[in-house]
Amino acid sequence: MSSEGEISSFFESSPPLKNMEEIVEKLNQFINWNFSWQGGRRIVCVTSGGTTVPLEQRCVRYIDNFSSGNRGAASTENFIKAGYAVIFLYRRGTCQPYCRYLPDDPFLECFEFPDKTNNIQVRASHLEAVKMAVMDQQRVAVSERRLLKLPFSTIYEYLQMLRLVATALKDIGPYSMFYLAAAVSDFYVPWESMTEHKIESGSGPLEIRLAQVPKMISILRSNWAPKAFCISFKLETDSKILIEKATKALRKYKVHAVVANELSTRKEEVVVVSSSGNVVVRRDCDKPESIVEDNLIRIIVARHSTYIIESQLLIPST
């Protein structure tokens, strides 16, 4: 477990966020709006995509972490369907809610010029996907203000933003949730030991010493947002060690559940590991459009409801 000293020295030596004030303002407005809406909406912070580790301060090269962002985007859509407001903390360029069915290059593939005028038209083959993307985005993100998107790239940005979100959500206690699906770097080059300019090539193999990124989940649970409901994820490529690792993480970080998944089957099946036992969650194979997140979020939302009720029972009545 990382010590508080290691955690604070990580933040002290991190390059500060360029737009911190703007992020804090957006967060406060979003949380106030949603929590004061008709008795209060639940708010979940969904983290999505992988963090990068720069190798140079004026970064040309970096180490990346695998994640398409599909889990985070699909989960966000399901949380919104369940009535939540979502803070979507995502890696720039990864999969976005409501856009999962669009082709990689939507502008080139989705649109056509049917005649020689300047009119652009959506191709019939992509009409449903474009309609869903535009209409749902418009509805939840713009008119209902239930989706706040905050992009990150580096491990430094991600952890500073996660801390800002957690601190901003502290006051809504059990009504908030962290759903930590992002693939977060375990190793990094500390900023002060990083070269400023592009590493020169041509002088043989490159040796880099990576330090361990302090584990932030424990401080999120103990300090930043101790009353929030917290779900973390565990990814492994060796299915034999997956459940054991997830169970260890559950105990070590005192989260409410760990969603365990194996790389090659992650879109078919996950296991929700918690103190009440392990539940295998699958997509419905008989429905082609079904995704594992439909069933996963149903379980997580039900558990969050129980958690809120139990937390209320703990508040002494006046």
Residue 7 contacts ligand PAZ per CB under 6 A: no
Between residues 31 and 235, which has the closer beta carbon with respect to ligand PAZ?
235
Residue 257: beta bridge partners? Answer: 231
Q: Which of 266, 269, 278, 298 binds ligand PAZ (CB under 6 A)?
A: 266
Record the tokens describing residue 223, joined without a space: 């300090």
Record the tokens describing residue 233, joined without a space: 């994820």
Q: How far apart are the first and last CA of the chain?
A: 38
Spell 190-224 as b/e; 16+ CB within 10 A means b. eeeebeeeeeeeeeeeeeeeeeebbbbbbbbbeeb
The residues near 141 (Cβ < 8 Å, ≥ 6 apart) are 147, 149
Which stretch, 37-45, 107-115, 233-241, 287-295, contacts ligand PAZ (CB under 6 A)? 233-241
Residue 52 contacts ligand PAZ per CB under 6 A: no
Shortest CB 147 distance to ligand PAZ, Å = 18
Shortest CB 9 distance to ligand PAZ, Å = 22
Shortest CB 304 distance to ligand PAZ, Å = 18
Length, in residues, of the chain:
318
Shortest CB 100 distance to ligand PAZ, Å = 10
Residue 292 contacts ligand PAZ per CB under 6 A: no
Residue 183 contacts ligand PAZ per CB under 6 A: yes
Shortest CB 172 distance to ligand PAZ, Å = 25
Residue 148: beta bridge partners? Answer: 87
Write the DSSP assignment of 165-202 as a string of letters. Answer: HHHHHGGGGGGEEEEE-SB--SEE--GGGSBSSPPP-S
Residue 296 contacts ligand PAZ per CB under 6 A: no
CA distance 316 to 318: 7
Shortest CB 245 distance to ligand PAZ, Å = 9
Residue 41 contacts ligand PAZ per CB under 6 A: no
Nearest to 179 by CA among 255, 98, 281: 255
Q: Which of 34, 52, 67, 78 binds ligand PAZ (CB under 6 A)?
A: 67
Residue 164 contacts ligand PAZ per CB under 6 A: no
Residue 148 contacts ligand PAZ per CB under 6 A: no
Q: Which residues would be at the binding site for ligand PAZ (CB under 6 A)?
A: 67-71, 181, 183-184, 233-235, 261, 266
